[in-house]
Chains A and B, each alone.
Chain A
Amino acid sequence: MPEGEIEPPPMLDAAVAFGRVLRGGGLRVGTDRLVEFARAIEQMDPSRRDDVYWSGRITLTSRPEDIEVYDRAFELFWETGGAAKPKPRPKVRLSVPQPDRSVMPPKKTVEKSETGQEAVRLRYSPVEVLRHKDFALYSPEEFAELQRLLADLRLSGALRKSRRLEPAPRGRHDPRRTLRGAMRTGGEAVRHRFRKARVQPRRVVLLCDVSGSMAPYSRALLRFLHASVVSGGRLEAFSIGTRLTRITRELTTRDPDRALRQTAGAVRDIAGGTRLGDAIKDFVDRWGQRGMARGAVVVIFSDGWDRGDVSVLAEQMQRLSRLAYRVVWVNPLKAAPGYKPLAAGMAAALPHVDVFLSGHNFESLEELARAVAAATERGV
C-alpha cells in the first residue's frame, strides 16, 4: 500500500464494519472493543498494513483460537480494499458451519419409532420406563421428556479442600474476627474465633466421543453435557472424534436446542472416525497438563473404538490418570449382556480408568452423577 494513496477512513466506521465481519466468523467483539480498536489505530499509522493488523489483533482478540479467525477476516476485509470504503455489509461471509444433522440417531431408529405403533405407546411411557430405556431406542418425544429429567440431574465433582478459609468452630486462629468481637467487649478478646479451609467441588471435565459408532448415543449424551454445563459449577466439556473441540462455551446457551445447534456447528468431526489417543493427547497437551485436569474428575464418554494407534491411547490415558483425581469411563456398550472390553482402545484404556460405567440410559447417568460426586473408590 503506497503511502498517501489511501485517505485514512473515519476509523470508527471502518472498525464497526470490520467488527461485523469478525462476528460473522464467530468472534465475540463488543462495541467497547471496537472503540478501543479505533483509538489504537489512531496511535499507529492507519495507512500501514501491519499497524492496522496489530492494532486490531491486540484489541479485538482474547484467545489464541481467535487469531486464526482474525487473520482470515483481516485478509478479507482490509486486503480486498474494504478499508478504503468500508461496506456496511461485506458480501463475503466467513464460513459459519451449518448445523450437522448427524448428531441425530441413525435414521433407521428414528423412523421406526416415528412411524411404528411403538412410538404412540412410548409417548406416554411413564418416567420409570424411560429411566431404563436405552438411549438408542428413544423417540423424539422421549428426548423432550429426557430434557425434563436431565434438568434435575446435577453433576458436581467430589469435594476437595480449597485454600480459601471460612469461619469454623475450630481450626486456625482468625485474628480479624477475634478483633471485631473484642471491640464489642471493650477490647477484651473474650471469644477467640477460628477458620478452616472451605471445601469445594472438584472441577469436572467431560470428554464426549462424537464419532460415527457413538451416534446412537451422542444425541442423548450431548443433552446430558448441556444440562450439566448450564446447571453451573466448575465444568468443562469437549467433543472428541478425529480432533478435539472445546464446547463449553457453545453449551452455555440455556435453550437446549439452540445450544446443541451451536455445538454441532462448532464440532466439525461429528459422526466421523475416532482417533481417541490423539484426541486425548491433544486434550492433555493443550488443557489438561496446564491445570484443567489436575485434581479434576475426568469423564470420558466413548465406546473405545479407536482407529488410531492404540499404544498412543494407552500412553495418553496413563498421563491423564496421573494428572486427574479420578478418571471415569462411560461406555454405552457396557450394558449389553456379556459385554467384554474387546475394542482394542477400550482394553488399552481400562488399566488407567478408575470407574467404568455404562451410560446407555438415564438410570446409568444418575449412577454417573453419583460416581462423580463420590469418586472415592478405585475400580467399580
Chain B
Amino acid sequence: MTEASGGRRGALPSGVSHFRELGVRLREHDYLADEGLSTAIFLSLKLGRPLFLEGEAGVGKTEVAKVLSRILETPLIRLQCYEGIDVYQAVYEWDYARQLLHIRAAEAFGGEDRERVERDLYDREFLVSRPLLQALEHRGPMPPVLLIDEVDRSDDEFEAFLLEILSDFAVTIPELGTVMAERPPVAILTSNRTREVHDALKRRCLYHYIEHPSFEREVEIVRLRVPDAEERLARQVAAATEKMRTMDLYKPPGVAETLDWTEALVALGARELDEQLVEATLGSVLKYREDQQRAANAGLAALVSGLGRDA
C-alpha cells in the first residue's frame, strides 16, 4: 500500500486502514453498510475519488454523506440539484445590491478614482459563495464532505460543469482568479435515475448501486435507528416491508419508509403488529393509493400473519 496516489489525496478517518474498520465506524454512527457499500466508501476515501451512489429512493444514499461528515468531524456541504441549476446557484454569485451601493457611496464621498472603485467592486467581500465554492474554499484538518444530491435532476450543461469541478477541484472566477481546494472534498453524488447521467461524469467516480437491505440487516437498522422499538416489533415490521417489496407496487417501501413506519407504530405505543395497526398506519409506508389498495386486496392480515421470522 505504498501507492503514491493513496497518500495525500485520501481522507480516511484516523485509525481506519481497512474497509471493515470503516464499517465498524459507520455502525458506531448508526449507519449499517454491507460489505459492498463499506468497500465503496473506503475506496472513495482512500483513492480520493468521488463516489456515485444509485439506488431506489429511500435506501439511504444521502445518509452516507451525512454519516461521513460525522465520522470525519468535518462540515457537510450539500448541493441539492434541480432542473435549471446553474453556476450562479451552485458556485458563486456577486452581491449586486451591495456592489451598486458601493459605487454610489464612492461617488457620494467623491475623490476616489474610478479604477480603484472598480477594483474594489470585485473584491472577495462582495462574493457570495454557494455550496461548490464553499467546499473548495474550506480549510481545515479534514476536507469537507460535499454532497451533490440528485444529480439526475440537473441538465447536461450543469453536468459538464460538474465534470470539470470534480476533475480539477478548482474553479476560476474571472474577476478574482482561480480557487483551488487544499485537499479534494469527499464528494458523494446521488442519483435516482430519472435519467441516465452522462458516462463521462460517471467515469470520474466510483460507482455503487445500493440494494434494499436483507431482512436481518433491516431489523438491525430499525433497532439501531428507532431504539424505542422492541425487537419483536422491529422484526414484524421488517418482515412486512419485505413482503410488500414482492407485491409489485409502484413504490416499494425503502428503508426510509420502514423507519417512518416503525416510528409511527412506536408513537402509537405499539409493541406488536396487528391488522388494525397496519391499517391505521399504512400511509406511512405506502404512499400511492393504488399501492395501499393492492396491499389491502392481498389482505392486510397476511402482512402480519405467518411472520415466521419471529424472534
When the two chains form the complex, which single residue of A50, A62, A291, A294 contacts B199, counting CB atoms closer than 8 Å? A62
Whether the Cβ atoms of B82 and A163 lie closer than 8 Å is yes
B86 partner, pick from A57, A67, A164, A183, beta carbons under 8 A = A164
CB < 8 Å: which of B35, B46, B84, B104 contacts A187? B104
Interface centre among A43, A175, A178, A292 (most CB of B within 10 A): A43
A-B CB contact pairs (8 Å), 11 listed: A39-B47, A42-B1, A43-B43, A54-B35, A57-B208, A59-B206, A63-B54, A163-B84, A178-B96, A182-B100, A292-B194
Given contacts A36-B47, A40-B47, contact A28 B39 (CB under 8 A): no
- Among A54, A55, A58, A291, point to the contact of B194 (Cβ < 8 A): A291
Contact A43 B6, beta carbon cutoff 8 Å: yes
Whether a CB of chain B sits under 8 angstroms from the CB of A285 is yes
Interface flags for A20-33 (1: CB within 8 Å of B; 0: not) read 00000000101011
Write the chain B residue with the least CB distance to A61.
Answer: B207
Q: How far is the CB of A282 from chain B (nearest CB, A)?
A: 11
Chain A: interface residue total (CB-CB under 8 A) = 43
* Contacts from B to A (Cβ < 8 Å): 1, 3, 5-6, 19, 35-36, 39-40, 42-43, 46-47, 49, 52, 54, 82-86, 88, 94, 96-97, 99-100, 103-104, 106-107, 114, 117-118, 121, 152-153, 155, 192-196, 199, 202-203, 206-209, 250-251
Return chain A residues, CB-CB under 8 Å to B152: 291
State the main secondary structure of chain B at its contact with A.
Answer: helix
Instruction: Kindly state the separation between the CA atoms of A130 and B193 in the bound complex, as whole angstroms.
Output: 41
Query: Are the CB atoms of B94 and A176 closer together than 8 Å?
Result: yes
Instruction: Write the nearest CB–CB distance from A50 to chain B, whole angstroms.
Output: 6
| Chain A residue with the shortest CB-CB distance to B106 | A187
- Determine the distance from Cα of A357 to Cα of B250 in the docked complex, in whole angstroms: 30
Does A189 lie at the interface of the complex (its beta carbon under 8 Å from any beta carbon of B)? yes
Asked if A39 and B5 make an inter-chain contact with CB atoms under 8 angstroms apart, the answer reads yes
- Contact in complex: A55, B52 (CB < 8 Å): no
Q: A39-B3, A55-B39 are in contact. Are A183 and B207 (CB under 8 A)?
A: no
In the complex, which of the residues B46, B52, B104 contacts A62, with contact meaning CB atoms closer than 8 Å?
B52
Binary CB contact string for chain A from 38 to 65 against chain B (1 if under 8 A, 0 otherwise): 0110111000001100110111011110
Q: In the complex, A50 Cα to B37 Cα: how many Å? A: 12
Minimum CB–CB distance for A171 against chain B, Å: 15
Residue numbers of A with Cβ under 8 A of B are 28, 30, 32-33, 36, 39-40, 42-44, 50-51, 54-55, 57-59, 61-64, 67, 162-164, 175-176, 178-179, 182-183, 186-187, 189, 248, 285, 287, 289-292, 294, 319
With A44-B39, A54-B36 as given contacts, are A292 and B195 in contact (CB-CB < 8 Å)?
A: yes
Contact partners of A175 in chain B: CB under 8 A: 96-97, 100
Q: Is B118 touching A183 in the complex (CB atoms < 8 A)? A: yes
Q: How far is the CA of A182 from the CA of B155 in the complex (A)?
A: 32
Q: Which residue on B lies nearest to A60, using beta carbons?
A: B207
Report the separation of the CA atoms of residues A287 and B136 in the bound assembly, to the nearest whole angstrom. Answer: 34
A60 CB to closest chain B CB, in angstroms?
A: 8
Q: Are A163 and B83 in contact (CB under 8 A)?
A: yes
Nearest Cβ distance between residue B11 and chain A, in whole angstroms? 14
CB-defined contacts of A63 to chain B, threshold 8 Å:
54, 196
Residues of chain A with a CB closer than 8 A to B202's CB = 62
